[in-house]
Structure 1
Amino acid sequence: MSLAIIGGTGALDLFDVLEHRRVESPYGAASATLARIDLDNGGAWFLARHGRPHRIPPHRINYRANIDALHRLGVAQIVAINAVGSMDPDHAAGALVVPDQLIDYTWGRRHTFSDDDITPLQHVEFAQPFSESLRRALLESATAVGQSCVDGGCMAVTQGPRLETAAEIRRLGRDGCNLVGMTAMPEAALAREAGMDYASLCVVANAAAGLEDEPISEAAIHRVLADAMQNVRQVLHALHT
């Protein structure tokens, strides 16, 4: 089975689970037991990024163990589901976006396999952080099921778990970002080091800080995501890689 989906804990409830499997990794414990799920186009592995129940903040996720566990299961392609804020007024809450670039603003995360005696030092090429073929497959799947999906965008990956200040969002916009999330790095880079294709299917949960008159409500974010995840489910069921 070559496909895996990494998403929030609630995303697993979208799929029928066929089995659970725990995989040992020299990098420690993965966020959760891996679940084999049933898709219309075949099976895939699912990993709950924040654990089950949802408890691990973005900066404390063991990204290395997660990617290594999937690699040990023979996964070659990873679709990451990321909830994001948007700096683009054309992105309504609930919109789906398949970004093509990112900027990493995180710190202190174990961001490479090449910092111990387990893996030899490697300098991976990362100019295009997302697999173009997997991006195309996601966009084609969205079209096939009648879902609107934005092609391209630059995601700022921030430390979290707090949301950003309005001034930080203005800075990210000046840097060229139009999306902001907390979990794509070092996930994407580790997948590249492991030789796995990686693409992100972003769900716009809210307008980024300072872009609307009202404060960002966590309850409102959860409502948007609950509705949008049904659209994500359709796209993933139609995915052909």
Structure 2
Amino acid sequence: MARIAIIGGTGLYDPRILDNVREERVVTPYGEVEYKVGEYAGKAVAFIPRHGSKHSIPPHLINYRANIWAMKKIGVQSIIATTAVGSLKREMAPGHFVLTDQFIDFTKNRVSTFYEGGDRGVVHVDVTEPYCPALRAVLNAAAAENGIPCHNFGTYVCTEGPRFETPAEIKAYALLGGDIVGMTNVPEVTLAREAEMCYATVSMVTNFAAGISTQPLTHGEVLDAMRTNVENFKKLVMAAIAGLDPEAPCACRRALAEYGGFKL
């Protein structure tokens, strides 16, 4: 049974980093989810390409609820999410990694909860620490051990997409305390919190954001940066998996204790 999952872009996934890879699927109340399962360091690891295997799903149409529900259903306890982001801070340069510890949500049209009333009721989950501190510590240690430039903090500004942001928006996000900007981390992080799973995000800085960069932004620029740094990306995530104990007790697994816990 897979206790660890990676949710990320297809640029990260390489069958050679896992042994005995197989494709599986699971049915959820929100649709069917296809994923892969393999083995690494004696541990079963599930993998979901967030944008689909051919990067065909835009950020605002990703089936976040189905993905998180599917991982919970197959027994995953810890999720490492990977994202590509633009930087609002000069010190967070392209090629650096950021272990997000807070977010600001500027999405507009996404369902962000499993609890919309009816039979499931309503809950108000605490997100004082939306990203698992224990999992972030494992990732930070893996980065240090492998000499990978990594910032052990960062506020992720999540926008609706799929367009890039204007310079005026970036200036406003920086004034609000944002460090990096992307389009996929919310509601994934809050759904994982509701599902009582340990969740951490590794963000790769691919470019400076609009108004900070001296050039117009392009998707090709993002892809080029991903290709340049994908080996460090894989090295960081797989080193963390090797050092991770997904069975270790964690407060994340009791996020809905006052409601009797999360139920599938």
TM-score of the two chains, using structure 2 as the length reference: 0.87
Q: State the Cα distance separating 1:238 from its structure 2 match.
A: 1.1
Tell me, what secondary structure is at the counterpart of 1:56? coil
Equivalent residue letter for 2:178? C
Contact 1:67 1:190 (C-alpha < 8 Å) held by counterparts: yes
Equivalent residue letter for 2:63? N
Q: State the Cα distance separating 1:69 from its structure 2 match.
A: 0.3
Structure 1 pair 57/81, CA: closer, same or farther in 2 (3 Å)?
same
Distance 2:134 2:206 in 1: 26
Alignment of 1:1-241 (within 5 A): 1-13=2-14, 15-16=17-18, 18-30=21-33, 33-40=34-41, 42-115=43-116, 117=118, 119-239=120-240, 240-241=243-244
Structure 1 pair 82/41, CA: closer, same or farther in 2 (3 Å)?
farther
Structure 1 pair 109/178, CA: closer, same or farther in 2 (3 Å)?
same
Contact 1:6 1:46 (C-alpha < 8 Å) held by counterparts: yes
Contact 1:39 1:236 (C-alpha < 8 Å) held by counterparts: no
Aligned to 2:259: none
Distance 1:81 1:25 in 2: 23
Distance 2:211 2:152 in 1: 25
Residue deviations 1:47-84, cap 9 Å, x none?
A: 01011211111111110000000000100111100100
Q: State the Cα distance separating 1:152 from its structure 2 match.
A: 0.2
Tell me, what secondary structure is at the counterpart of 2:28? coil
Equivalent residue letter for 1:3? I
Contact 1:4 1:44 (C-alpha < 8 Å) held by counterparts: yes
Q: State the Cα distance separating 1:168 from its structure 2 match.
A: 0.4
Equivalent residue letter for 2:199? Y
- Report how many residues are paired: 239
RMSD after superposition: 1.4
Tell me, what secondary structure is at the counterpart of 2:56? coil
Contact 2:11 2:226 (C-alpha < 8 Å) held by counterparts: no
Q: 90-99 or 197-206: which moved more?
A: 90-99
Q: 150-159 or 111-120: which moved more?
A: 111-120
Q: Using the aligned pairs only, state the percent identity.
A: 38
Q: State the Cα distance separating 1:10 from its structure 2 match.
A: 2.4
Distance 1:74 1:168 in 2: 39
Distance 1:219 1:27 in 2: 32
Q: State the Cα distance separating 1:13 from its structure 2 match.
A: 2.5
Tell me, what secondary structure is at the counterpart of 1:78? strand
Contact 1:40 1:238 (C-alpha < 8 Å) held by counterparts: no
Distance 2:21 2:132 in 1: 28
Distance 1:157 1:118 in 2: 30
Q: State the Cα distance separating 1:116 from its structure 2 match.
A: 5.0
Q: 33-42 or 144-153: which moved more?
A: 33-42
Tell me, what secondary structure is at the counterpart of 1:229? helix
Structure 1 pair 157/5, CA: closer, same or farther in 2 (3 Å)?
same
Q: State the Cα distance separating 1:37 from its structure 2 match.
A: 2.9
Q: State the Cα distance separating 1:165 from its structure 2 match.
A: 0.3
Tell me, what secondary structure is at the counterpart of 1:168? helix
TM-score of the two chains, using structure 1 as the length reference: 0.95
Equivalent residue letter for 2:139? L
Q: State the Cα distance separating 1:136 from its structure 2 match.
A: 0.4
Structure 1 portions without partners, runs of 5+: none
Q: State the Cα distance separating 1:142 from its structure 2 match.
A: 1.1
Contact 1:34 1:46 (C-alpha < 8 Å) held by counterparts: yes
